Chains A and B, each alone.
Chain A
Amino acid sequence: MTMQQIYLAIPLLPLLAAIIIGLFGRQLPRAAAHIVTIAGVAASFTLSLYVLNHAMTNAPYNETVYSWLKSGNFSFEIGFLIDRLSAMMMVVVTFVSLMVHIYTIGYMAEDKGYARFFSYISLFTFSMLMLVMSNNFMQLFFGWEAVGLVSYLLIGFWYTRPTAIYANLKAFLVNRVGDFGFLLGIGLVLFHFGSLDYAAVFSVAPQMADTKINLIGNASWSLMTVTCILLFIGAMGKSAQVPLHVWLPDSMEGPTPISALIHAATMVTAGIFMVARMSPLFELSSTALSFVLIIGSITALFMGFLGIIQNDIKRVVAYSTLSQLGYMTVALGASAYSVAIFHLMTHAFFKALLFLGAGAVIMGMHHDQDIRNMGNLKKYMPVTWITSLIGSLALIGTPFLSGFYSKDSIIEAAKFSTITGSGFAYFAVLTGVFVTAFYSFRMYFLVFHGKEKWREVKHENSHHDDDHQEHHHGLSPTDDPHEPGWVVKLPLILLAIPSLAIGYIAIEPMLYGEFFKGVIFVDAGAHPAMHELTHHWHTVFHSATGMAIHGLMTLPFLLAASGVGLAWFFYMKRPDIPAAIQMRFAGINRILENKYGFDSFNDRVFAAGSRFIGNKLWLIGDVKIIDGTLVNGTAHLIGKLSGIVRKLQSGLIYHYAFAMIIGVFFMLSFYSLKF
């Protein structure tokens, strides 16, 4: 096989599997659904590993596959850019996807949409691969929208549930708001650069750094700032940054495997990937980077707070995802693109692990998702317990674990950044460490330690997001939870390994080595954070071990440790204290429970507002003014006139039409006789 054939095979194999199972899944035996799709994605994963290995020693591959459209001077192509960034993304996507495919065999075992589910997740894998492998903006947008489509289909997978079909419509529309900006950004790129090809655009970008455009009156705006902010609005939708984050918590209505794959590990990081890919453009606008930085900081901090008060196990993990996406965005804003991608990778592993662990817990609890009904599960589900502990420790940034390396680097980058908003960003990511540790271990302790609370009175106001229609909710007080079979445990174990080790292995090449050389561009003069970070590494840390040992003595570690300690004290020792705090600060609690009011604002202003305006335009504009006055007025007038010639009226409309044609000929004859 040539490399080009390999590149083609990587996305097309999952697509082929998705088509086969999508079209014939109902006729084929049940097992065919997972055999075919797993074969497809496993082959993709293997080939992706080969490609990554190949990309380590070879120059980037950048070729057109076919010409999609030519119009005038513009041409749009489908093509691949395979460098280390895309190769790494391909490996991450196919690996997590493979784990999720295997896990699904267990998780969806009793669902009647079994084949449909496998078809969707394979289609997702194809779309995500097309997105990361693209060599141009248009195909990026293709993949971008295609993953959105699959996300829509999967959030609404259980389409009879009102909450699920509300959530998927909301997710799609909120993402469309982001895409609105994204498309305009792409439009400006095509207009001013004359191409949508990355290489062509990036090569002329530096000359365009000072270009100004007029948008409103004569006020001139920097082209790069406007373009980058518009592109970033797309990222805000896909990567759920405030205020376009509102769809992600609701997306938990989908089955847990896709929460892991799409809404934690891969799709939601597409925006991060995109900005890193566009680093040659974003580097030209400090204003845009400040915007990115501030949005990221707000997301990192304020979404973390919401994690504290959630009682649904999936929603805790979802808010933690939002917060972590904020961290990645902060890294982008600080021009530490490689750090953002590094955190994207470590997060993909440990967050997929946490979600799949949560799914295992949900299965063990017979589809009860309320953490207040759990406790002491370590006794019954040892593999889930250990792997979830690893995931949680990685998430809060425990030295030597993967999350430590990426998260500490982000905190350092925010500290070294000099652009507007970096002070707030540093504060936000630092505070976020404590908050993350607190809510993660609140969940961890409530689920795996303490009393077996399902044996007592249950909380009935909880969400039962992941139940299958025919299932009875929850575990009865006399039952013991059981750990699911090997198809669920194996992915947990395989994800736990990179969650432990990938940071230690990868930090030096990815952040301070040659890995992203020629892929990510940083203007070290204007944005020194990455330069300072590198300097720090070479003078203080020297190695991954050095960084971890050093990390034991720093503020982030103290904050994380105190977060864990406080969670233990509050929820294991003195559960009366958090209850009392909740009572004492009812106002703050209400703000958090309303999620800062974004949802009700959107519902009342945007959704209801659009319907209100639509109704007025229809009933007043169309029905009353245009039809009522103009059309029917004319008709009425004609009706009166026609009373005079009533005898000619047959009431059959085509007689009029015939008469009209005859009239035309008559008029013409008359006309020509005169001349």
Chain B
Amino acid sequence: MVEYFTQHILSFSIWLPVLAGIVVLLTANDSKPNATRWLALAGSIVSFAVTIPLYTHFNFAEGGFQFQEGFRWILSFNINYHLGVDGIAVPLILLTSFTTVIVVISAWEVIEKRVAQYMASFLIMSGLMIGVFSALDAILYYVFWEAMLIPLFLVIGIWGGQNRVYATIKFFLYTLLGSLLMLVAFIYLYHQTGSFEIVDYYKFPMSLNVQILIFLAFFAAFAVKIPMWPVHTWLPDAHVEAPTGGSVVLAAIALKLGGYSFLRFAMPIAPDAAHYLSGFMITLSLIAIVYIALVALVQKDMKKLIAYSSISHMGFVTLGFFIFNHLGLEGAMVQMVSHGFISAAMFLCVGVLYDRVHSRQIEAYGGVANTMPVFAAFAVLFAMANSGLPGTSGFVGEFMVILGAIQVNFWYAFLASFTLIFGAAYTLWMVKRVFYGEIANQHVAALKDINKREFFILAILALLVLALGVYPQPLTDMTNATVTQLLSHLAQSKLGVVAPVDMGL
């Protein structure tokens, strides 16, 4: 049994939460929502627990895929159920399974209608997203990639706000267009190689023009997901309409699907195109960092502000990718994990206020620190992390990417560093208007400080934000070998290569 488990850790990581979700759905009894909650919590914790061996049994010296497993799935199309993870996938899988626990706890008394469906959506989504991070077959990946959208659409569509239909359709349209082009790319690659194995694509030589087309097809899917400027406008709307848990998953994990996929597909499959288009990608990233930060400054809705802040922070991720050095790439990875904690915490904080006052507008608040001092302390901590304060995780990734960028071009770093000023400006100005000052109105006067459940989840996130800020090395130890291998792969041109070369991936 133990042996069977250790050989199929990834399958357990994917299917256990899905199974848990289904069990929650089937056993749900609307008159006993508490039983459903406890069951969902147990499911999420067990699902988190089975992903832990991915860290404890990880071979840190190995840059290639580990924990591989699989079988032939659809023989006629040569589609395989092939799973495997490397140093850039494991941190994101752990982030996913961990965040699901947080989401389940955060929804505890907040969600009163259709508790089972809500909990099940997140459990199933968690498994499917882990599937995205561990699939080594393009079609398997694609199925997970599309399937995880269903529970996410459901979450926004059912438990969302007033304007949820507009937001969901906008989200759907964006992702649909991107995904279709990605599918075309997969079909082309299958046609050329006769395989859906991602590793085969890495070795497959292509002319620059073909690579550029392939790259752009992937770009359409991934740039929407991250999201990059100018295909970002679905995110603020989706966040505003999503319930708290939906926003948490969207920000903490769903955006990382895009970032991860650049590293898994677009860049290694079309390395020459990635280099060729790096100026373009860097330009979009820098626009995201500066332009979006300025837009965030003038937002009146807290969730929109944090959503724009997310886009700006994701600009660091894509900037880190396309400067093609170790600091940049690894910094981008750290930024993704750190943003997972910080954005989750920020959205949970907005949720805490929304649950009490039912408004996300900044002007509906003022002086919250007077009535919710403990909560205010957490909020200021996360705001500081969002502003990239050293000692918090928010600093590490930005620091690495800026130091990496300056080695490529001083002005990249110069523009990226504006985040130091603007990031602090929009975050702390919001803090000032919401938390500081005299008590603004009777809603704020009536606020009760966070309860034990809210304290617990914010405290865990706070500890993680601080731990990663004070000692990020365990994370980079994990990504180091893979990043090294990826960089050396990216440095090898596919142009003029006749025979497929074994990249050792």
Asked if A215 is at the interface (CB within 8 A of a chain B CB), the reply is yes
Q: Which residue of B lies closest to A158 (CB)?
A: B436
Q: Which residue of B lies closest to A660 (CB)?
A: B146
B471 to A180, Cβ gap below 8 A? no
CB distance from A659 to the nearest CB of B (A): 11
Given contacts A631-B173, A668-B77, contact A614 B413 (CB under 8 A): no
Residues of B near A671 (CB, < 8 A) are 187
Residues of B near A630 (CB, < 8 A) are 230
The contact string, 1 if C-beta is below 8 Å from chain B, for chain A 12-43, is: 00000000000000000000000000000000
B403 to A190, Cβ gap below 8 A? yes
The contact string, 1 if C-beta is below 8 Å from chain A, for chain B 217-235, is: 0000000000000100110
B424 to A215, Cβ gap below 8 A? no
A672 to B406, Cβ gap below 8 A? no
Q: Which of A184, A191, A610, A614 contacts B407 (CB 8 A)?
A: A191
A187 to B421, Cβ gap below 8 A? no
A183 to B169, Cβ gap below 8 A? no
19 chain-A/chain-B pairs, Cβ below 8 angstroms: A71-B326, A145-B389, A156-B436, A159-B437, A162-B437, A184-B406, A184-B413, A184-B414, A187-B403, A188-B406, A614-B298, A617-B294, A618-B295, A618-B299, A622-B233, A652-B157, A654-B150, A671-B187, A675-B191
Chain B contributes a number of interface residues (CB within 8 A of A) equal to 83
Residues 456-504 of B contacting A (Cβ, < 8 Å): 470-473, 476-477, 480, 483-484
Q: Which of A68, A142, A183, A613 contacts B417 (CB 8 A)?
A: A183
B326 to A73, Cβ gap below 8 A? yes
The contact string, 1 if C-beta is below 8 Å from chain A, for chain B 411-438, is: 1011001101110110011001001111
The contact string, 1 if C-beta is below 8 Å from chain A, for chain B 240-275, is: 000000000000000000000000000000000000
List 5 additional contacts besides A71-B476, A173-B424, A187-B406; criterion CB under 8 Å.
A184-B410, A215-B410, A610-B297, A611-B297, A657-B147
A74 to B327, Cβ gap below 8 A? yes
Given contacts A68-B472, A156-B436, A172-B424, contact A187 B413 (CB under 8 A): yes
Q: Which 4 A-B pairs have the closest CB atoms?
A: A72-B326, A187-B406, A614-B294, A614-B298
Asked if A69 is at the interface (CB within 8 A of a chain B CB), the reply is yes
Chain B, interface SS category = helix
Asked if A165 is at the interface (CB within 8 A of a chain B CB), the reply is yes
A555 to B145 Cα, complex, angstroms: 79
A71 to B330, Cβ gap below 8 A? yes
B402 to A183, Cβ gap below 8 A? yes
B294 to A146, Cβ gap below 8 A? no
A578 to B477 Cα, complex, angstroms: 68
Q: Which residue of B lies closest to A23 (CB)?
A: B377
CB distance from B78 to the nearest CB of A (A): 9
A180 to B387 Cα, complex, angstroms: 13
Chain B interface residues (CB < 8 Å from chain A): 76-77, 139, 142-143, 146-147, 149-150, 153-154, 157, 168-170, 172-174, 176-177, 179, 183, 187, 191, 230, 233-234, 291, 294-299, 325-327, 330-331, 367, 369-370, 380, 384, 389-391, 395-396, 399-400, 402-403, 405-407, 410-411, 413-414, 417-418, 420-422, 424-425, 428-429, 432, 435-438, 470-473, 476-477, 480, 483-484
Residues of B near A141 (CB, < 8 A) are 390
Residues of A near B173 (CB, < 8 A) are 631, 634-635, 638
The contact string, 1 if C-beta is below 8 Å from chain B, for chain A 608-627, is: 00110111011001100011
Chain A interface residues (CB < 8 Å from chain B): 66-74, 138, 141-142, 144-146, 149, 152-153, 156, 159-160, 162, 165-166, 169, 172-173, 176-177, 179-180, 183-184, 186-188, 190-191, 213, 215, 610-611, 613-615, 617-618, 621-622, 626-627, 630-631, 634-635, 638, 652-654, 656-658, 660-661, 664, 667-668, 671-672, 675
CB distance from A549 to the nearest CB of B (A): 49
Q: Which residue of A lies closest to B428 (CB)?
A: A169
B390 to A71, Cβ gap below 8 A? no
Residues of A near B169 (CB, < 8 A) are 635, 653
Q: Which residue of A lies closest to B149 (CB)?
A: A657
Residues of B near A615 (CB, < 8 A) are 298
Given contacts A159-B436, A173-B424, contact A180 B417 (CB under 8 A): yes
B424 to A165, Cβ gap below 8 A? no
A657 to B153, Cβ gap below 8 A? yes
Residues of A near B406 (CB, < 8 A) are 184, 187-188, 190-191
Q: Which residue of A lies closest to B74 (CB)?
A: A668
Given contacts A145-B390, A173-B425, A626-B230, contact A69 B473 (CB under 8 A): yes
Residues of B near A67 (CB, < 8 A) are 473
CB distance from B363 to the nearest CB of A (A): 15
B473 to A614, Cβ gap below 8 A? no
Q: Which of A186, A618, A657 contacts B298 (CB 8 A)?
A: A618
Q: Which residue of B lies closest to A214 (CB)?
A: B410
A89 to B369 Cα, complex, angstroms: 36
Q: Which residue of A lies closest to B293 (CB)?
A: A614
B420 to A176, Cβ gap below 8 A? yes
A360 to B399 Cα, complex, angstroms: 43
Q: Which residue of B lies closest to A215 (CB)?
A: B410
Residues of A near B432 (CB, < 8 A) are 165-166, 169
Q: Which residue of A lies closest to B151 (CB)?
A: A654
Residues of B near A186 (CB, < 8 A) are 403
A509 to B429 Cα, complex, angstroms: 48
Q: Which residue of B lies closest to A166 (CB)?
A: B432
A156 to B437 Cα, complex, angstroms: 10
Residues of A near B327 (CB, < 8 A) are 71-72, 74
A661 to B476, Cβ gap below 8 A? no
Given contacts A149-B384, A172-B428, A183-B402, contact A653 B157 (CB under 8 A): yes
B157 to A72, Cβ gap below 8 A? no
B417 to A184, Cβ gap below 8 A? yes
Residues of A near B370 (CB, < 8 A) are 160
Q: Which of B153, B325, B421 contacts A180 (CB 8 A)?
A: B421
Residues of A near B424 (CB, < 8 A) are 172-173, 176
CB distance from A98 to the nearest CB of B (A): 24
Q: Which of B233, B369, B418, B471 contacts A626 (CB 8 A)?
A: B233
Residues of A near B179 (CB, < 8 A) are 660
Q: Which of A142, A160, A213, A661 contacts B147 (CB 8 A)?
A: A661
A187 to B331 Cα, complex, angstroms: 14
CB distance from A666 to the nearest CB of B (A): 12
A615 to B295 Cα, complex, angstroms: 6
A156 to B143 Cα, complex, angstroms: 52
Residues of B near A610 (CB, < 8 A) are 294, 297, 422, 425
A664 to B384, Cβ gap below 8 A? no
A657 to B150, Cβ gap below 8 A? yes
Residues of A near B330 (CB, < 8 A) are 71-72
Residues of B near A621 (CB, < 8 A) are 291, 295
Q: Which residue of B lies closest to A179 (CB)?
A: B420
Given contacts A72-B327, A160-B367, contact A142 B390 (CB under 8 A): yes
A146 to B470 Cα, complex, angstroms: 12
A282 to B42 Cα, complex, angstroms: 60
